[in-house]
Structure 1
Amino acid sequence: MFRRRPPLPPFPPGALLVGGAARDWLRGAEPKDFDWAAPDPEGAARTLAAALGGSAFPLDEERGYWRVHAGDGVQHDFVPLPEDMADDLLRRDFTVNALALTERHAVLDPSGGRADLRARRLRMVSAANLRADPLRAWRAVRFEIALGFRLEAATETEVRAVAVELAAGRLPMPAPERVREELHALLAHKAAARGILRLEDLGLLALTLPELREGIGVVQGGFHHLDVFGHGVEALHQLLARFPDADLPLRWATLLHDVGKPRARGTNPRSGRTTFYEHDRIGAALTGQMLTRLRLPSAQVERASALVRAHMAPLPAGEREARRFVHRRRNLLPDLLRLMLADREAARGPDSHPAIRHAYTQAMDRVLAALEEQPAAPPPLLTGEDVMALLGIGPGPAVGRALREVAEAQAVGEVRTSGEARALVLSRAGEG
């Protein structure tokens, strides 16, 4: 059933390989994060670091926690060997993680995890363990997606119960940073869209991204065949199918690009059709709030929000407009095009037909050609001092405005020399 097992690093004296690393090795996958329980964590870490050519350092000297970086993204964590290893394993989340491996590859399995591993079944060690750390409910979804396992019925019932108790305040919510890490591990997987649907199914999405759920049942029509929520999830699926290297801000932006639609919904008084005016602006603000709440780094929050804000930008009809599009949105490219393509491919309503899709593709090709022609902004033709001297003015908004006009004219090919740039500044000043 599983692949051939990969070689393991040398076992430090008396150490056991535990948890996910033991699980992955038993199913034929190569572990990247090794967890060890050792009689002497420091000595074991230093011994393994010397054997692998890595570096050992303490994570928590008081508790005896050590880590080894072995290169290629592989790390080894060491903790003290407990007095009762079986009891320690029985305090873990799921049976497939409650495993330990000896140097001779004997398996310690007090909860029947090997049978669950063979059956591709995700089963809790106990309901009490799930409640002891409610984050394990989110982890259940991640393991379903990442391992391709299915929650056992009693475990699924308990996960749903944990979600209900969290919503009612009878259990404490995990720290936002911990929820974020589970979500990011889920979003990193190629089947992340299915994971989002599973979070919703189990009652966990309402605790995490309630704004995203506002799109459930919000019918769009036109180009769309799905409600707002379903469209966002499908757009994420389309993105990852085409761009598996998409980074986290782009993944977030694609999932959330229409999150503003429910709050922007209105009706055109003339046609009677539903409208979503300003949903890009509202969605960008909501994206910022949601990702800040999850404690994402500010740069990632700003990037995702900017992509959501720009996703409705009209694509150019000609080459000059394509150069203008690139100039105005260069810092978001090519990710903005990837988001827009995923958005389009997730929309297959009655107004969507081959001719429109072809025109959309052609417009994207124009932008890509313009970006390839001018991958970086050209050197400026004028400085602020030039503009002030030319117009006889001091520092102020007028200088910045003139420089922006020159930069855009230069980007689209309307001016090519400093003399032409000066003439443009004077002509615009004369128009004012």
Structure 2
Amino acid sequence: MTVYRVGGVVRDRLLGRDSQDADHVVVGATPEDMRARGFRPVGKDFPVFLHPDSGEEYALARTERKSGRGYHGFVFHTGPDVSLEDDLARRDLTVNAMAETEDGQIIDPHGGRRDLEARVLRHVSPAFREDPVRILRLGRFHARLPDFRIADETRELCRAMVADGEVEHLVPERVWQELSGALMATRPSRFFELLRECGALAVLLPELDRLFGVPQVAEHHPEIDTGIHTLMVVDQAARMNGSLPARFAALVHDLGKGLTPADQLPRHVGHEKAGLAPIRAVCERLRVSVECRDLALQVGEHHLVAHRAAELRPETVVRLFERLDAFRRPERLEPFLLACEADRRGRTGREDEAYPQADFLRRAHAEAAAVEARPFVEQGLEGPAIAQAVHTERVRRIAALSRA
């Protein structure tokens, strides 16, 4: 029984980066051997075990054979006869197909170290095309490692996989897992650029794909193309270290512009309301978390209101906070403001512009949230009269702030 560190932990160490991956492959062992040493089995499709002390994953070396469509269409084989080289040959990219012995020796049968030095993402073998998830993983690594390029032959393989219909068999949970991982990377736009180039975006996110080529008013959007603007907004949200809900909201905030009638272009009157249905459709289809869905709907509907914060009547500012539910759930305000600021900065030549609207709305919220119901109760007000009095006082305080 021999244990090797494999995959991401080896790649990241060679890149001089900290790694969250701590995967190991075990050669020459059976499931019974692992259980006898105290490892706890967790794998359903193939034997994966948790170390009894560290909790890290240890998988038995395995081979795989295509048996059907999609992510689950594989038959796996494990056993003491499966070698380390057999296991590495089934992996997706050369930079992920390296192993390391306990004494630090690198085992690299597919040139992963060479590709790391050349900053290239390249598939290990033609078997790459058998698993459509690998397109998403490739895109995620491209977003995480923006100084790497994708090998031409790997791009061509992705296009062939889409043409063969493999992407249509991806399960929603796996798509969301990879998409959310890409959103949290350094340059999320790289993920969506790859998907669009190979045709997968039209299959998985047609609501986003249709934004490319849709014009906007050049005065407000020097980049003109709505799809390009959207990817700039997502990268801005990443640059500002936004949370996953904020980055997802940035991604889908303008979906309504894909529904604007051609005779109204390049203007998009009412795109905020029009975008709510496609946002809901994306969230339902990909089984997006409730937190991400709710913020995406709020940003989609109200981002233009936030942009006009300095011009708004105090009554409108209070109504905005009420619609965000920001008095009961104040933690919603910051991700909303970050997504709105990313939208304003996600435009050619305006990437570093100030966004004073956010500071004003923070101060306005603090003033309004400080209003308490107790004084009105002590005055003898009851029921709806208390809520109205609180609302009126909030409006009064924001009006005073605006004058100041």
TM-score, normalising length: structure 2 = 0.78
Give yes or no for the alignment of 1:341 onto 2:353: no
> 1:77 corresponds to which residue?
57
Higher normalized contact order (CA 8 Å, seq sep 6+, divided by chain length): 2
Give yes or no for the alignment of 1:296 onto 2:273: no
Moved more, 335-344 or 86-95: 335-344
Is the Cα contact below 8 Å between 1:310 and 1:336 reproduced in 2?
no
**1:213 is matched by which residue type in structure 2?**
D
Q: CA deviation at 1:62?
A: 9.5
> 2:278 corresponds to which residue?
286
Is the Cα contact below 8 Å between 1:322 and 1:367 reproduced in 2?
no
Is the Cα contact below 8 Å between 1:21 and 1:34 reproduced in 2?
yes
Alignment of 1:175-254 (within 5 A): 175-221=171-217, 222-225=219-222, 226-241=224-239, 243-244=240-241, 246-254=242-250
**1:145 is matched by which residue type in structure 2?**
A
> 1:158 corresponds to which residue?
157
Question: Cα distance 1:348–1:201, how it changes in 2: closer, same or farther (>3 A)?
Answer: same
Is the Cα contact below 8 Å between 1:223 and 1:348 reproduced in 2?
no
Give yes or no for the alignment of 1:59 onto 2:42: yes
> 1:405 corresponds to which residue?
388
Question: Cα distance 1:336–1:377, how it changes in 2: closer, same or farther (>3 A)?
Answer: farther
Give yes or no for the alignment of 1:122 onto 2:121: yes
Distance in 1, matches of 2:174 and 2:316, equals: 42
Give yes or no for the alignment of 1:26 onto 2:14: yes
> 2:101 corresponds to which residue?
102
Is the Cα contact below 8 Å between 1:37 and 1:79 reproduced in 2?
yes
Q: CA deviation at 1:318?
A: 7.1
Distance in 1, matches of 2:130 and 2:193, equals: 25
Is the partner of 1:262 in helix, strand or coil? helix
> 2:65 corresponds to which residue?
none
Question: Cα distance 1:158–1:207, how it changes in 2: closer, same or farther (>3 A)?
Answer: same
Q: CA deviation at 1:207?
A: 2.0
Question: Cα distance 1:376–1:43, how it changes in 2: closer, same or farther (>3 A)?
Answer: farther
2:311 to 314, 317, 320: 317
Question: Cα distance 1:43–1:407, how it changes in 2: closer, same or farther (>3 A)?
Answer: farther
Provide structure 2 residue ranges, at least 5 long, that are not aligned to the other structure.
62-78, 399-404
Provide structure 1 residue ranges, at least 5 long, that are not aligned to the other structure.
1-12, 47-55, 389-398, 416-432
Is the partner of 1:17 in helix, strand or coil? strand
Q: CA deviation at 1:96?
A: 1.6
Larger Rg: 1
Q: CA deviation at 1:90?
A: 0.8
TM-score, normalising length: structure 1 = 0.73
Is the Cα contact below 8 Å between 2:295 and 2:336 reproduced in 1?
no
**1:130 is matched by which residue type in structure 2?**
F
Distance in 2, matches of 1:316 and 1:405, equals: 24
- The C-alpha deviation readout for 1:332-391, integer Å capped at 9, x for no partner, is 412322222222223469xx9x9xx88xx44443222223334566346459x9646xxx
Q: CA deviation at 1:65?
A: 2.2
Q: CA deviation at 1:15?
A: 1.2
> 1:35 corresponds to which residue?
23
Give yes or no for the alignment of 1:259 onto 2:255: yes
**1:336 is matched by which residue type in structure 2?**
F
Is the partner of 1:33 in helix, strand or coil? coil
Q: CA deviation at 1:187?
A: 0.6
- Alpha-carbon RMSD across the aligned residues, in angstroms, is 3.3
Is the partner of 1:143 in helix, strand or coil? helix
Distance in 2, matches of 1:341 and 1:171, equals: 34
Give yes or no for the alignment of 1:15 onto 2:3: yes
Is the Cα contact below 8 Å between 1:327 and 1:377 reproduced in 2?
no
Question: Cα distance 1:371–1:211, how it changes in 2: closer, same or farther (>3 A)?
Answer: same
> 2:402 corresponds to which residue?
none
Q: CA deviation at 1:188?
A: 0.3
**2:334 is matched by which residue type in structure 1?**
P
Is the Cα contact below 8 Å between 2:133 and 2:174 reproduced in 1?
yes
Q: CA deviation at 1:410?
A: 2.7
Identity value in percent:
29
**2:303 is matched by which residue type in structure 1?**
H
Is the Cα contact below 8 Å between 2:91 and 2:97 reproduced in 1?
yes
Give the aligned length. 360
Distance in 1, matches of 2:312 and 2:131, equals: 56
Question: Cα distance 1:278–1:43, how it changes in 2: closer, same or farther (>3 A)?
Answer: farther
Is the partner of 1:125 in helix, strand or coil? coil
Distance in 1, matches of 2:151 and 2:361, equals: 49
Distance in 2, matches of 1:228 and 1:69, equals: 51
Is the partner of 1:260 in helix, strand or coil? helix
Q: CA deviation at 1:267?
A: 5.2
